[in-house]
Amino acid sequence: MSFFKVENLSVWFGGLAAIDGVSFEVEPGQVFAVIGPNGAGKTTLFNCINGIYKPGKGEIFFKGNEIVGLKPDAVARMGIARTFQNIELFDHMTTMENLMLGRHIHMKTGLLRGAFLWGKRSFAGREEMVHREKVESIIDLLELQSVRNKFVGALPYGTQKLIELGRALALEPELLLLDEPCAGMNAEEKQDMIFWIKDIQDELGITVLLIEHDMKMVMDISDQVLAINFGRPITQGTPQEVQQHPEVLAAYLGEDA
Amino acid sequence: MDRKRSYYEDVALFDSKAKLFWFFVLMAFLVAYPHIVPSNSYIYMANLMAINIIVVLGLNLLVGFTGQISLGHAGFFCVGAYATITLMIHAGLPFIVALPAAALISALLGFLLGLPALRLEGPYLSIATLGFGISITKVIGKMQFFGGRQGLHAPELTIGSWNLDTDLDFYYLAVGLTVLLTIAARNIVKTRVGRAFIAIREDDIAAQTTGVNLTYYKTLAFALSAFYTGLAGGLFAFVLRFIEPEMFTLLMSILFLAMVVVGGLGSIMGSITGAVLITWLDLQLRHILTIPYIGDWLRTLSQSWFSITGVSNIQYIVLGTIVVLIMVFEPLGLYGLWIRAKKYWKTWPF
Ligand SMILES: Nc1ncnc2c1ncn2[C@@H]1O[C@H](COP(=O)(O)OP(=O)(O)OP(=O)(O)O)[C@@H](O)[C@H]1O
Ligand SMILES: [Mg+2]
């Protein structure tokens, strides 16, 4: 049984195939990168994995369980978290509260126990404290202390990307989907992000599925790379192997030139 | 920055001694209020305010916190009122059982209305809830069991050996419940369920991918909102000790919504101030025609320009104008004013 497996996945919008027969397997602990030009179907692939889209054909297995057909919240509960290409944060909530949403699946307080938040000893009070402490450790890890109690909507782009990463980490996932985590960042912020992704892999042991356009970064941190174009798989292998593939060369050198 | 802090501070009801102090001042005022006001009409007004605060808390949980609209809350108010009285008269239940039971019946209806609401948003949801609000009063008005068009008289109101036969007695019941329900609402929005509500309002895709079950929490918000409103309706039945279907109009639903928006969407403080202000305005403006000179002039104005039936309707026009003005000058509602005042006082000595 493999850790994560996509089998013969296809998605159509109208008559057009956004994904066309994609298959791959991810080993636990890997950083697995998906590359491809704009409109290749990378984000669509993520949307299928976490249940936002239902694929027209194919299967996705996570730790041996079929997850196609599950709702996004059920996928989250299974241990898959993600970030978005176009940041999706809760703008009118603070950084702390955004990250607390990441703890939602690990908490139990419902309507009644929430309404009776009578002091530190009440169930809700105790639970809040335990999980706020967890979130605080993520805030420390990502060095977000200075924006802890700020509403996230008005924060700089790079900070928002980081908060989104923090929220995903707060779910304590086994598989983390990162959709262009470095897009729009400056060189320094990029360097930090690379550092954190390595940390997530090494220290937290989380498997990472990564979409990224920056080839240097892909080379730097991924163990396996899958290249797709027009929804079809082109090649898969180690970063070095994939980089040598003529179609990838053409796509990326062509883009740079 | 690195000081060791208790994480409980973030959610504590009173995170400072000063807040606790002011809370006790407020409680003392509420206890003393009926004894320091000059006439009974002030107690009657406070009772209406308390009831409206409960409704607006419930409606704000749905509209302001979860981001779902409702134009039908007079319907839940009506259900709560009728269910309380019916359960007392026909099932012989004591008030103290009938009131929460009626609120639960209203919550059940809220849950059922929440189901189709899952597929509707914005204007479509407005129309669906509007349809509910209008039709439920028509259905009740057609059934002889509920007194039909003649309405129902409320039975005697007792809790144990406490006979609540005056506005003063009722004041302590209504205000006591309002304080409890306000604290409950505030606790809910500060903890897990409330965060899920707000997350849905802010970004439902992101909410789902962090594990929030959209179906569950959207219907839960409807049920909770209907619970509050139904409970308020049950109290309302004893304000005039008489209810009839015609009381629960579309205008009433709109006034509830106006209280939410004027007070401030997604704010507990705003729910209270919005309900208090609009209730007060509504009561004051009923006497607008008795003001010397201006009253007569307004009546003529109303009858010659604004009213087809000849019944003067100027109070609603004035009320509407005031609501528009508040929104123009403070789009965040009274809560926005409050935030600005707080900032002002914080920086004041410097
Ligand atoms: N909801 C949708 N409805 C219709 N077409 C869609 C939808 N989502 C994606 N598509 C189409 O599917 C194709 C793949 O889009 P996708 O967003 O997956 O690309 P991508 O590889 O993530 O590109 P980028 O690098 O620009 O983010 C595009 O042609 C896009 O227009
Ligand atoms: Mg994309």
Say what the ipTM of the complex is. Answer: 0.94
B20 touches chain A (CB under 8 A): no
Do both A161 and A181 map to the same domain? no
Q: What confidence category does residue B300 fall into, taking pLDDT thresholds of 50, 70 and 90?
A: confident
Separation CA A14–CA B271 (nearest Å): 46
Q: Would you say B263 and B65 are in contact if contact means Cβ atoms under 8 Å apart?
A: no
Can you give the residue range of the structural domain that contains B71?
39-347
**B206 interfacial to chain A (CB closer than 8 Å):** yes
Mutate to test the interface with A, among B7, B216, B217 (most CBs of A within 10 A): B7
**Could you tell me the CA-to-CA distances from B194 to A6, A91, A93, B53, B216 in Å, in that order?**
36, 15, 12, 19, 13
Q: Are strands A16-26 and A4-13 parallel, antiparallel or unpaired?
A: antiparallel
Q: Which atom of ligand 1 is nearest to the CA of A45?
A: 18
Does residue A35 fall inside a structural domain?
A: yes
Alpha helices, DSSP H, located in B143-249: 167-190, 192-202, 204-209, 214-236
Residue carrying structure tokens 């239902």: A54
Phi-psi bin for B80: left (phi > 0), alpha (psi -120 to 50), beta? alpha
**Could you tell me if residue B73 is inside a domain?**
yes
Domain's final residue, options A136, A171, A206: A171
* Tokens describing residue B289: 């025609």
Q: Give the number of the ligand closest to the Cα of residue A34.
A: 1
A12 forms beta bridges with A17
Lowest mean pLDDT among A38-42, B301-305, B322-326: B301-305
Interface of A with B in 191-230 (CB under 8 A): none
Q: How many Cβ pairs within 8 Å bridge chains A and B?
A: 122
Alpha helices in B61-158 (DSSP H): 73-89, 95-117, 122-142
Residue B17 belongs to some domain of the structure: no
The domain containing residue A114 runs over which residues? 91-171
**β-bridge mates for residue A32, sequence order:** A209, A224
Query: Which is the closest atom of ligand 1 to the Cα of A37?
Result: 25
Please report whether residue B255 resides in a domain. Answer: yes
Closest to B117 measured CA to CA, from B161, B77, B174, B62:
B62
Out of B8, B202, B210, the one facing A125 most closely (by C-beta) is B8
Q: Does residue B60 contact residue B256 with C-beta atoms inside 8 Å?
A: no
Instruction: Report pLDDT for B2.
Output: 43
- Is B333 inside a domain boundary? yes
Residues A162 and A189 in one domain: no
Within a domain: A28: yes
Pairing of strands A207-211, A31-35: parallel
Task: Give the closest residue to B129 by CA, choosing from B137, B140, B138, B117.
Answer: B117
Q: Do B206 and A84 touch (CB under 8 A)?
A: yes
**Is residue A181 located within the same domain as residue A256?**
yes
Q: Using CA of residue B35, residue B39, residue B44, residue B49, what is the dihedral sign?
A: negative
Q: How many domains does chain A contain in total?
A: 2
Nearest-atom index, ligand 1, CA of A19? 14
Cα–Cα dist A251/A36, whole Å: 8
In percent, the amount of chain B with pLDDT more than 70 equals 95
pLDDT for A101 equals 97
Structural domain includes residue B10? no
Residue among A12, A38, A43 to mutate when testing ligand 1 (max atoms within 8 A of CB)? A43
**Which two structure tokens, joined as six digits, stand for B104?**
């639960």
Residues A17, A52 share a domain: yes
On whether residue A84 sits in a domain, the answer given is: no
Contact A128 B7 (CB under 8 A): yes
The answer to whether residue B1 neighbours chain A at the CB level (below 8 Å) is yes
Same domain, yes or no: A73 and A108: no
- Asked if residue A141 and residue A31 are part of one domain, the reply reads no
Does the residue B125 lie in any domain? yes
- Chain segment B58-101, per-residue pLDDT in tens: 999 999 999 999 999 999 999 999 999 999 999 999 999 999 99
Residue B293 sits in a domain whose CATH number is 1.10.3470
Q: Are residues A180 and A73 in the same domain?
A: yes
> Using the beta-carbon criterion (under 8 Å), do A93 and B195 form an inter-chain contact?
yes
List b or e across B102-132, with b for residues whose CB sees 16 or more CB atoms inside 10 angstroms: bbbbbbebbbebbeebeeeeeeebbebbbeb
Residues in chain B within 8 Å Cβ distance of A107:
192
Q: Mark the ranges of chain A whose per-residue pLDDT is less than 70.
A: 253-257
* The predicted structure's pLDDT at residue A257: 37
Assign B1 a pLDDT band (cuts: 50, 70, 90): very low
A156 interfacial to chain B (CB closer than 8 Å): no
Considering the domain architecture, whether residues A66 and A125 belong to the same structural domain is answered as: no
Residue A86 belongs to some domain of the structure? no
Furthest CA-CA distance within chain B: 70
Secondary structure of residue A3 in the 3-state scheme: coil
Q: Which residues have CB under 8 Å from A218's CB, separation 6+?
A: A33, A35, A210, A212, A225, A239
More confident residue, B342 or B153: B153
Q: Are B217 and B89 in contact (CB under 8 A)?
A: no
Q: What's the count of helices (H) and strands (E) in chain A, helices before strands? A: 10, 10
**Torsion (CA) B211, B212, B215, B220 in degrees, nearest 10:** 150
Residues A103 and A217 in one domain: no
DSSP H or E stretch at residue B345: helix B334-346
| Contacts of B61 by beta carbon, 8 Å cutoff, 6+ apart | B185, B188, B189, B197, B221, B224, B225, B228
Residue B117 to residue B242: CA distance in whole angstroms: 32
What's the pLDDT band for B5 if we cut at 50, 70, 90? Answer: low
Give chain B's domain count: 1
Looking at residue A256, its pLDDT comes to 47
What pLDDT score was predicted for residue B345? 64
Domain finish residue from A145, A171, A197: A171
Q: Does a structural domain hold residue A85?
A: no
Q: Which residues of B touch A136 (CB under 8 A)?
A: 7
Mean of pLDDT values over B164-179 = 95
Tell whether B6 is covered by a domain: no
Residue carrying structure tokens 């099932």 = B91
Average pLDDT, chain B: 89
Structure tokens at B31: 């206890």
- A167 and A180 share one domain: no
- The answer to whether residue A140 is domain-embedded is yes
pTM: 0.93
Closest CA to A51 of A24, A28, A30, A78: A78
Domain annotation covers residue B3: no
Residues of B with Cβ-Cβ distance to A72 under 8 angstroms: 205, 208-209
pLDDT at B73: 96
Contact by Cβ (8 Å): A190, A217: yes
Where is pLDDT greater, at A31 or B339?
A: A31
A147 Cβ contact partners less than 8 Å away, ≥ 6 residues apart: A95, A155, A159, A163
Residue A67 sits in the same domain as residue A117? no
Model confidence over B92-132: pLDDT tens digits?
A: 999 999 999 999 999 999 999 999 888 888 888 889 999 99
pLDDT score recorded for residue B266: 93
Best to test chain A binding among B177, B180, B209 (most A CBs inside 10 Å) = B209
Among A171, A189, A214, the domain-final residue is A171
Percent of chain B with pLDDT over 90: 66
A225 and A152 part of one domain: no
State the DSSP H helix or E strand holding residue A113, giving kind and residue range, or none if neither. helix A111-115
B332: pLDDT strictly greater than 50: yes
Q: Cα separation of B286 and B44, whole Å?
A: 15
